[in-house]
Structure 1
């Protein structure tokens, strides 16, 4: 997907990323749904919004693919990580997101908007033990 990003962003005939973003996001969402365990399309999706965080947070296709994957494969590290990034940038989760995360929450604490991001970090610590220190660090930065 790296070559694809280069072509989309550098080819004057395609009109650049802004004119191609919608079709590229659709393409990437399809790739994610076909193989959600492949990290590459998740990274490409983030790259499509590099430097445009508000569009990343408010694009319903981004949050929708995240929820679809969490509902079908709720321990998907990439979907959880994407959700965490969205939450840290001001994403307002629907009740469906809260239910999906609550299903993974092994503690008995209630979820609120304030601690959904920290709960996602706690879930990630369990499902991604190789990076548990990183997720713990992310959680400590949310609480700070």
Structure 2
């Protein structure tokens, strides 16, 4: 950009580090020139097409400059620019800088301004999926997705999309976390039928890879948050016991999960004394097995054992 021509009426404001700066940053000359003009425009709050173009020049050199992104938003709205075209611009920057917080936040601001447009929302979900294809654990992509579907109450494809990601990598904690987010946030809640299906879903992946912590954590979460049936809790307990007892290899996650279930049972005030004594004995034995088989966390399991009441 030819600043002397485009901004001929503007007196650039140079960076002021004070009279005796200890270690001034050696900015490239082009960046310094652009920022000098930017400061002058920001000082008078100019919101114009030329300032919009200037922000693109600076973002190309420093895409993490939050203030420049904010001024860009002000210029977009003041000039009534094409916001759908702006999303394409943000995509171009985003594919070069996948984990740049500023560009993800910029998308949120622009999409909020556009409002509830199903074509735009679906386009955003496609963009997120493309980002997750590049890095399926990109925190910014998942965070933006949560905001998008919650803000616009757009849940229709979420479980299907997250299922594809879990299928491609069932150790992806981010995908499991998003599945939990969808179930716990969408308006229809979790029915008894859905609860049973989710438990079956967990067990399918547990059978494939018992030492994968992700489905164990997910199952623990949905039982804690949504389960109201003691019969279901007992059924899960029996299934986990079969896995613990039936495997030649000791499965730490299964034993740890069983311990949580038994501790929950021990705290049940409606349990008979015989049932409580049995649960205490089982929990103590599980702790001892974990101490023996999970040596790295032996002291942790010893501590858990100390918390179990005496028979």
**Which region of structure 1 is more displaced relative to structure 2, 55-64 or 65-74?**
55-64
Which of 86, 89, 110 does residue 261 from structure 2 map onto? 86
* Contact 1:77/1:127 (8 A) holds in 2: yes
Q: Give the count of matched residue pairs.
A: 122
Q: Could you say which residue in structure 2 is the equivalent of 1:28?
A: 202
* Contact 2:250/2:293 (8 A) holds in 1: yes
2:307 aligned with 1:133, yes or no? no
CA distance in 2 between counterparts of 1:49 and 1:37 reads 19
Structure 1: gaps of 5 or more residues: 92-111
Deviation at 1:3, TM superposition (A): 0.8
* Contact 1:49/1:55 (8 A) holds in 2: no
Structure 2: gaps of 5 or more residues: 1-175, 267-276
* Contact 2:283/2:308 (8 A) holds in 1: yes
CA distance in 1 between counterparts of 2:227 and 2:196 reads 15
Which of 169, 187, 190 does residue 17 from structure 1 map onto? 190
Partner SS, residue 224 of structure 2:
coil
Deviations along 1:21-46, one digit per CA (max 9) or x if unpaired, are: 12111111111111111000000001
Deviation at 1:9, TM superposition (A): 1.5
Greater relative contact order structure (CA < 8 Å, 6+ sep): 1
Deviation at 1:89, TM superposition (A): 1.6
Gap change, CA 1:53 and 1:4, over 3 Å in 2? closer
Per the normalisation by structure 1, the TM-score is 0.72
Deviation at 1:56, TM superposition (A): 6.5
CA distance in 2 between counterparts of 1:56 and 1:126 reads 31
* Contact 2:184/2:190 (8 A) holds in 1: yes
Deviation at 1:136, TM superposition (A): 0.4
* Contact 1:57/1:89 (8 A) holds in 2: no
Deviation at 1:130, TM superposition (A): 1.2
User: Based on CA coordinates, which of the two structures has the bigger radius of gyration?
Assistant: 2
* Contact 2:291/2:301 (8 A) holds in 1: yes
CA distance in 2 between counterparts of 1:138 and 1:57 reads 26
